[in-house]
Structure 1
Amino acid sequence: MTVKAVAVQRFGDPGGLAVVDLPDPRPAAGEVVITTEAIGVGGVDALIRRGALAAYGFEAGHVLGGEVAGVVTALGTDVDESWEGARVWAPAGLGGGYAEQAVAPATVLVRLPPDVSPVDAVTVAGSGVVAHFGLRHARFATGESVLVRGAAGGIGVMAVQLAARDGTVAVTTSSPGRGARLRELGATEVLDRTGEGSPGHDVVIDVVAGEDLPSFLAKLNPNGRLVAVGAVAGPPPARLAAEMFAAFRKSLSFATFSADTVSTEDRRTVAAELLAAVGRGELDAVVHEVLPLAHATLAHRELDAGAVFGRIALVPV
């Protein structure tokens, strides 16, 4: 028996993605098989597909996909039988999710609340975990001002919603229409992509990075903290260090953040809390589009065009 999956046959543009047949996955000890009902499409998927993360050893044939939601349909040894048939969300690391079935360790599973759909789960949980711990990494405190750079993506819309609970939120985005939608999510100030006209923030959460990252240091208050939680535009330029030192008397901080540095149990706890908040109507799952798994190429073309607001989900059909 085989399952359908989407693999990178050639690194570069979205045309290098292809639907392939793979053997049915078999769970090892401590693992489960999830029959997927929704698959999250994230910025890191695009980076891997482009070849920007080649240093991690990705090879042709790599199956993309960092998170899935669905039903547990097979258990490996040493897995509690109560997981059989459970509706779950699970992170899939740096790959394996773009498939009709995915394997995950039982230790990472989060049960879905009854009123949370699989599409909503992959829209909120992974991005929300990064946003939550990114804000914590920035030592964000109640009453502070946050600027979210690249706020229209999955991580950005979650950072806006979470930060708005305790502080004021400015955002950068590409159009007035997107700005209006971000205001509905809690943003109080909308800026263009340069962030011009808005100095005086305690924290910058940056999903974009790239050549323009150093200019956002000038938008920080003394003792301000800029945390890069993504790099969709690539790494920052070498002049970043020089500009940090040029602002020496402001005692600014720059850091990167990856959820890989957070314990599995802490990630599970926060993901469960976020999904419960969606079920209670306290957080919005901002779904840009739901596409068939076989249309993953289209999803990546929309990512590359900067056309996505929130998250795209793929569904096996």
Structure 2
Amino acid sequence: MKAVAIGTYGDPEGLTLVDLPTPSPPEGEILIAVEAVGVAGMDAQIRSGALADYGFEEGFVPGSEVAGTVTAVGKGRDDSWIGRRVWAFTGLGGGYVEQACVPLEQVVPLPPELSPVESVTIGSSGSVAHFALVHAHLARGEAVLIRGAAGSIGVMAVQLATREGASAVAVTTSSTERGDRLRQLGATHVLDRSGAGRADAPAGYDVIFDVVAGDELPVFLDRLNPRGRMVTVGAVGGQPPVDFGRVLMAQFQRSTSFATFSAASVGAADLQAVRRDQFAAVARGELTAVVHEVLPLDQAVLAHQKMDAGEVFGRIVLAP
């Protein structure tokens, strides 16, 4: 089967199309004929070599979520799964393939109205956004700022914060066009990347949902209301300054807080339950899966070039 592996770390051109043996599902797993692969920011970080210290080696196949049709089951699994359309979490890698073996515990059946492309657009990003907002203790009537809202996680956070009854959903983004699209998804105020740009925007926020991190993270900590909470779910802008905690200590009497969130801290059953609910919500038209573009698997280099250039709104999907 065809797969995309990291030939050399660094630029997108280091991704290469390779031939791998078609897998056979071991005990407890199923085999999926992949129709859609979600391209995530984590894939780009792994490809760049930024996470090389975590054991990723050249030859690694990226991709954490796939969708398609079950074609075989391993020993101990019900044959009735064969022929069913499913979404699956493949872990931190292994998804840029034509055929994927996945433990059944990481699989969610798809509603008839939901396409494989839509499912990999929200499968992981939607659950991250949901549990990060839970981690932030978002309550109805609170003001939220979503930093880095144009990516797949930010797009979902805008929609979920709106559904939760936030009094304001401010977003940072890089262009007027993106701001208009985010307004259509529920944003009430559009700011530039520095958090400026609207005189009528809230002066402070009860929750800041951050996908960016980077050097400017301390600036956003200063925009928390008393007892405000900032939760960082990614670091697409790089690591924050090592002394960013000084900002929190300087406003000690305002009881602000900072936290990180990773879906790895949530049990598989809880993640799958949220994914099932969100898939059903998209099928009913209550949530929107924002697909930037669908590209063939052999154009993974182009997909990563677009991500690195900051061109993507929502999620790029690869179609084997």
User: Which range, TM-score by smaller chain?
Assistant: over 0.9
Structure 1 position 53, deviation (Å): 1.2
User: Aligned letter for 2:299?
Assistant: H
Structure 1 position 55, deviation (Å): 2.2
Distance 2:235 2:65 in 1: 19
What's the RMSD between the two structures over aligned residues?
0.9
Identity over the aligned pairs, expressed in percent? Answer: 61
Deviation by residue 1:266-304 (Cα, 9 ceiling, x = unmatched): 010000000000000001110000000000000000000
Aligned counterparts, 1:108-119, within 5 A: 108-119=106-117
Distance 1:31 1:56 in 2: 26
Structure 1 position 102, deviation (Å): 1.1
Distance 1:82 1:53 in 2: 39
- Please, what TM-score do these two structures have when normalized by structure 1? 0.97
Q: Is residue 2:289 matched to residue 1:285?
A: yes
Tell me the residue number matched to 1:176. 176
Paired residue secondary structure (1:58): coil
2:74 is aligned, of 73, 76, 80, to: 76
- Does the aligned pair in 2 maintain the 1:11–1:60 contact within 8 Å? yes
Deviation by residue 1:103-148 (Cα, 9 ceiling, x = unmatched): 1100111000001000000011111000000100101111111100
- Does the aligned pair in 2 maintain the 1:214–1:239 contact within 8 Å? no
User: Aligned letter for 2:115?
Assistant: S
- Please, what TM-score do these two structures have when normalized by structure 2? 0.97
Paired residue secondary structure (2:102): strand
Q: Is residue 2:193 matched to residue 1:189?
A: no
Structure 1 position 195, deviation (Å): 0.5
Distance 1:11 1:37 in 2: 26
**Greater than 4 Å deviation, 4+ residue runs:** none
Tell me the residue number matched to 2:263. 259
Tell me the residue number matched to 1:214. 218
Tell me the residue number matched to 2:135. 137
1:304 is aligned, of 283, 290, 308, to: 308
Paired residue secondary structure (2:215): coil
Tell me the residue number matched to 1:103. 101
Q: Is residue 2:130 matched to residue 1:126?
A: no
Structure 1 position 98, deviation (Å): 0.4
1:275 is aligned, of 279, 282, 293, to: 279
Paired residue secondary structure (1:301): helix
User: Aligned letter for 1:7?
Assistant: A
Deviation by residue 1:21-62 (Cα, 9 ceiling, x = unmatched): 001112121111111000000100000001111122000100
Distance 1:36 1:296 in 2: 15
Aligned counterparts, 1:19-58, within 5 A: 19-58=17-56
Structure 1 position 78, deviation (Å): 1.4
Structure 1 position 248, deviation (Å): 1.1
Distance 2:206 2:148 in 1: 17
Paired residue secondary structure (1:63): coil
Deviation by residue 1:233-264 (Cα, 9 ceiling, x = unmatched): 22211121111111111111111101011111
1:89 is aligned, of 87, 90, 93, to: 87
Distance 1:274 1:108 in 2: 16
Paired residue secondary structure (1:221): strand
Distance 1:210 1:103 in 2: 36
- Does the aligned pair in 1 maintain the 2:3–2:96 contact within 8 Å? yes
User: Aligned letter for 2:133?
Assistant: L
- Does the aligned pair in 1 maintain the 2:222–2:247 contact within 8 Å? no
Distance 1:32 1:149 in 2: 38
- Does the aligned pair in 1 maintain the 2:4–2:18 contact within 8 Å? yes
User: Aligned letter for 1:85?
Assistant: G
Paired residue secondary structure (2:92): coil
2:229 is aligned, of 217, 225, 230, to: 225
Q: Is residue 2:234 matched to residue 1:236?
A: no
Gaps of 5+ in 2: none
- Does the aligned pair in 2 maintain the 1:38–1:313 contact within 8 Å? yes
Distance 2:90 2:4 in 1: 14
Tell me the residue number matched to 1:64. 62
Structure 1 position 80, deviation (Å): 2.1
Distance 1:263 1:83 in 2: 23
User: Aligned letter for 2:300?
Assistant: A
Structure 1 position 81, deviation (Å): 2.1
Distance 2:251 2:17 in 1: 50
Paired residue secondary structure (1:171): strand
Distance 1:82 1:55 in 2: 42
Count of residues in correspondence between the two structures: 314
Distance 1:262 1:100 in 2: 28
Deviation by residue 1:171-215 (Cα, 9 ceiling, x = unmatched): 000001100000000000000000026531100110111111111
User: Aligned letter for 2:220?
Assistant: F
